[in-house]
Amino acid sequence: MATPIRHPYLPAQPPVLINRDAIARRVAEIGAEIDRDLAGESVLLVGVLKGAAIFLSDLARAINIQCTFDFVAVSSYGKGTRSSGAVKLIKDLDHPIEGRNIILVEDILDTGLTLSFLKRMLMQHRPRSLRVAALLDKPERRIEPLQAEYVGFSIPNHFVIGYGMDYAERFRNLPDICIFPPDAAD
């Protein structure tokens, strides 16, 4: 386990699951992979608000091919409702995507319900290609059989905060990915 970090808003020092250096190395690798896969083409990164905002901003800077971005948001009625498959779009894309190479960018792929919904929705707009980049993947939680083309890290079923991920909207700004609550760590 990496060294715990201090943060003024945390009740205790949360255990670091993936530290900022490991994140930066992996994001650079994914950026290079995207450059290879889409060499000579352009890409539209579509971030899923809000958790993906920080991953998208780092990933965009790790990509050298022509790159633009857009954002969507889905309803967050809570995992209970989401598990029933009830995902609702609350912010649509700003621009048409027909004929574009799209990468849906997510902080975490959990049950897969959100990304399945978004993939189905985006495919209706006939993109040239559609891929998924998920910084974290919790395969044991999957309900929809969905695999991301680009995965940062596969993790066990911990509740994680930091690097965009929240607990009650807080802690998204932690630079490392941490386990929350701190005493939930093994």
Q: Taking the complex as a whole, how short is the minimal distance between the CB of residue 47 and ligand PRP, in angstroms?
A: 9
- Omega before 50 cis (within 30°)? yes
Toward ligand PRP, which CB reaches closer, 41 or 77? 77
Q: Strand, helix or coil at 43?
A: strand
Q: What stretches of the chain adopt beta strand conformation (E)?
A: 16-18, 42-49, 66-74, 89-91, 101-109, 129-137, 150-154, 160-161, 177-179
Q: Does 137 bind ligand PRP (CB under 6 A)?
A: no
Specify the stretch interacting with ligand PRP by CB under 6 A; choose among 18-26, 61-69, 111-119, 150-158.
111-119
Q: Strand, helix or coil at 129?
A: strand
Toward ligand PRP, which CB reaches closer, 38 or 136? 136
Specify the stretch interacting with ligand PRP by CB under 6 A; choose among 32-40, 56-64, 104-112, 124-132.
104-112
Contact positions with ligand PRP (CB under 6 A) in 36-55: 48-51
Q: Which of 35, 37, 70, 110 is catalytic?
A: 110
- Comparing CA positions, the residue from 100, 113, 186 lying closest to residue 145 is 113
Looking at residue 140, its amino acid is E
Q: Which residues bind ligand PRP (CB under 6 A)?
A: 48-51, 76, 82, 106-114, 166
